[in-house]
Amino acid sequence: MTALAMKSRVSAGLPYVLLLVVSAVLWYYANHIDVAARPGQLGPDFWPKLAIGLMAIVSLIELARAVVSPNHKEAHGITDQLESAEPLADADEQGDRSLPLLLGGMAMSGGYALSLGIIGFPLATFLFLAGFMYLGRFRRHTMIWTSSFIGAAVFSVLFLKVVYVSLPRGIAPFDTITDLIVGLH
């Protein structure tokens, strides 16, 4: 077996190894569910164990297939079979993927969740909108800042004053902005 073939088998089988590990960990936790069933009855751990078992069995079969024959033919869902007549442009064919952009997007989203409780919904949304547009390689500055401001203001008024969704106000002094929008000042 060549090194390339070996690498192909390892990369094909790796996701299923991970899934088997996850299944084992989840099975461990499922065994620690506080079972209150009467003897002879199925307990609350039965259903999750059924799902874990399904995941583990399918992963095991796929792992075996990946190791024995990495290029095996698989049965696909009917939509896949119908779409194969005219496949939509695959992401891989559309252009180069950019990991920094992806990680940037994830980091910005995490940053939004972290900052929300501190600076409040209006300011966090304004900064996120502007930052995400820049991250997406859009460079019309006036449009970015104007649309972010209008967007954040409209969302804040709509959800804080009209729909009454309880969104984070932020801590002082940032809560002043939220209070201004909801009309407490």
Partner 1 sequence: MLDTLSQLGAGFIACLSPVHMLMLFVGLLVGLLVGILPGLTLVMGVVLFLPFTYQMEVTSAIILLTAMYVSGTYGGAFTSILFRIPGEPIHVPLLWDGYAMAKKGQPAKALGWTLVAALIGGLVSAAIMVVLTKPVAQFALRFSSPEYFAIVLLGLASVISLGKGSLSSALISLSVGLLVASVGTDAIYGSYRFTFESPILADGIEFLVVMVGAYGVAEVLARLELGFTSAPLQGVSDTRTQLPSLKEISGLKGMLLRSTLLGHVVGIIPGAGATIASFVSYGVESQFGRQRGRMGSGVPEGIVAPQCAATASVGGALIPLLALGIPGSGATAAILGAFMLHGVQPGPQVMMTSPAMVYTIFASLFVGIVFMCVLGYFAIRPLVKIMDFPEAVVSSFVMVFCFIGALSIRSNVTDLWLMLGFGVVGYLFERMRFPIAPMVLGVILGPLAEEAFMNSMISFQNDWTVFFTRPISGSVLVLVALTLLLPVIGTLIPRRRAAPAE
Q: Restricting to residues 17-56, name those near partner 1 by CB under 8 A.
A: 19, 26, 29-30, 33-37, 40-48, 50-52, 54-55
> Which residues in the 91-130 window bind partner 1 by CB under 8 A?
91, 94-99, 101-102, 104-106, 109-110, 112-113, 116-117, 125, 128-129
State which residue, 167 or 181, has the beta carbon closest to partner 1: 167
- Burial of 59 from C-beta contacts in 10 A (0-12 / 13-18 / 19+): buried
Tell me phi and psi for residue 143, to 5 degrees. Answer: -65, -40
State which residue, 47 or 69, has the beta carbon closest to partner 1: 47
> Which residues in the 58-77 window bind partner 1 by CB under 8 A?
58-59, 61-62, 73-77
CB atoms within 10 A of CB 103: 10
The residue behind tokens 């089988």 is: 13
Closest distance of CB 72 from partner 1, Å: 10
DSSP 83-110: HTTSPPPPHHHHS---HHHHHHHHHHHH
> Which residues in the 127-166 window bind partner 1 by CB under 8 A?
128-129, 132-133, 135-138, 140, 143-144, 147-148, 151, 155, 159, 162-166
Does residue number 178 form part of the binding site for partner 1 (CB under 8 A)? no
Q: How many residues does the chain have?
A: 185
Contacts by 129-135 with C-beta closer than 8 Å and gap 24+? Answer: 132/105, 132/108, 135/101, 135/104, 135/105, 135/108
Closest distance of CB 61 from partner 1, Å: 7
Closest distance of CB 148 from partner 1, Å: 8
